[in-house]
Chain A
Amino acid sequence: SLVIRGEKDERAVLCSKDKTYDMKIADTSNMLLFIPGCKTPEQLNADPASCNVIHSQIAGFSKNYWELRRCRPKLKKLRKLLMEDPYEGPSIQKDQTLTFSKYTTEDLLSLIQASEEEILHQLQVIDACKIEGRYWRILEFNYEMKLLDHVTQLIDSESWSLNKVPLRTCLEELGSLEPREMIEHILLSYGRKYVDDGEVYFEMREDKICRAVAQMLLQNAVKFNLSEFQEVWQQSVPEGMTTRLDQLKGLALVDKSSRPETIFLLKVEDLPEDNQERFNSLFRIREKWTEVDITPYIQDLCAEKQTVGALLTKYARSSMLNGVKVYNSRRPIS
């Protein structure tokens, strides 16, 4: 069955099990009459015996109807809800009398304008986990980094290969420091699980770990000297991992026009979800963008079969700057 979702201040969407559709009312100046049992010429031809008058009733009429158009699920709200009360670890005893918003899967289904599958997939993408069985939580970033640090330090002291980190030993060694579910969760978030000879191992995800370390460094200042940042960043990631600027797509932006070059944090998930608003905020941050720089910040806006190029054609204007094609806003941005 299908579900219509939306709060009073939102535009209604219709959801199937795995897709989301915008709903619009279409008006027509024509009258639409619906007639049950009305026969088409083909159906009458097939039945040569009927030469009689068939009395049909018009069940009703309408001058408008609902139209559906497939759209991107509206998932920004999901992160927003879960960030109301990020999980900071068991040692932080929150005052139990204060009621923090906690969300079960059912709660999310009635609040988020997306299909169930899209919601569950997004929960996985943002590394949400169920704590106390029922409630979806996101880890507070510093706690997440603390967990990751425990794991990377253990990998280092045990001299394990980054591709073969044993779950069992991690739980044994770190279980006294943090809840076992959290250790397993951080391994699942930052590694790829596999089984070898009956034992569970993780292949650590270099790009994701480097990216997280970069975020940790960048969030402490407005911007950094690029070359200084790159040096500190490389020194801060686990032994054996190599940092690359392309790991930071959608997370940080390099300003090549400043002397010296700088880098600053810009997370795509902090930007507006609506297409026009997204482009407005991007053009407020920077007047002219190259396609390479802007792509990570608009990629998620692409509808089914839509390309970044098509989005740029629609929402931006192109020009040449020093022999390079750049995009700017179609209209003045306040």
Chain B
Amino acid sequence: SSGAGALAQWVLVELQGEVEPRQSGSLAGSLLGDLHYTCEGIPVLIVGHHILYGKVVQLEKPFAVLVKQAGAPQSSPGEPHGHYTVTALIKTKLLFKTRPKPIITHVPKKV
């Protein structure tokens, strides 16, 4: 339920396998791809020259995203030795588990 100061809701995208940067570089800052939804609400992901079809799944067990707080290293006995803050909740995921299909532009037939 939402209210003032409610937790942010994020979405999970689940992909099979690994995602690698195109050139040898880092993932940070790079573009992954484009996400579309069809009229029926089916998610479509275009990564590079591949297209993936997925489905929207409501998570039976939602996730909480925890961020570790940089805290004082020394703490008195009885005090917690670390703090995590719940940053966001994830209740929905976009699951892509079909094989990516390469997108081939139309090749005109030879006459």
Interface residues of A (CB under 8 A from B): 3, 29-42, 44-45, 56, 58-59, 61, 65, 106-107, 109-110
* Docked-complex contact B10 and A35, CB < 8 angstroms: yes
What is the minimal beta-carbon distance from A16 to any residue of chain B, in angstroms? 13
The one of B16, B32, B78, B88 in contact with A30, judged by C-beta atoms closer than 8 angstroms, is B16
Assess the A41–B19 pair: CB atoms within 8 A.
no
Whether A40 contacts B11 in the complex (CB less than 8 A), given A34-B65, A34-B90, comes out as yes
Number of chain B residues whose Cβ lies closer than 8 Å to a Cβ of chain A: 30
Pair A31/B12 contact, Cβ less than 8 Å: no
Closest to B78 in A: A106
Instruction: Decide: A33 near B88, CB < 8 A? Known: A41-B37, A41-B56.
Output: no
The docked-state distance in angstroms from the alpha carbon of A45 to that of B18 is 31
Are A109 and B78 in contact (CB-based, < 8 A)? Answer: yes
**Cα-based distance from A254 to B44 in the complex (angstroms):** 69
Q: Report the nearest B residue to A110, measured CB to CB.
A: B78
Q: Provide the bound-state CA to CA distance between A177 and B14, in Å.
A: 72
With A40-B92, A41-B37: A59-B14 Cβ-Cβ less than 8 Å? no
In the complex with contacts A3-B80, A40-B92, A31-B63 CB distance below 8 A: no
Question: How far is A109 from B90 in the complex, measured between Cα atoms in Å?
Answer: 30
Are A31 and B56 in contact (CB-based, < 8 A)?
A: no
- Least distance between A119 CB and chain B CB atoms (Å): 14
Q: Mark B1-33, 1 if CB is under 8 A from A, else 0.
A: 000000010111111111100000001000010
B103 contacts the other chain (CB 8 A): no
Check if A110 sits within 8 Å of B77, measured CB to CB: yes
Give the distance to chain A from B22, nearest Cβ to Cβ, in Å: 16
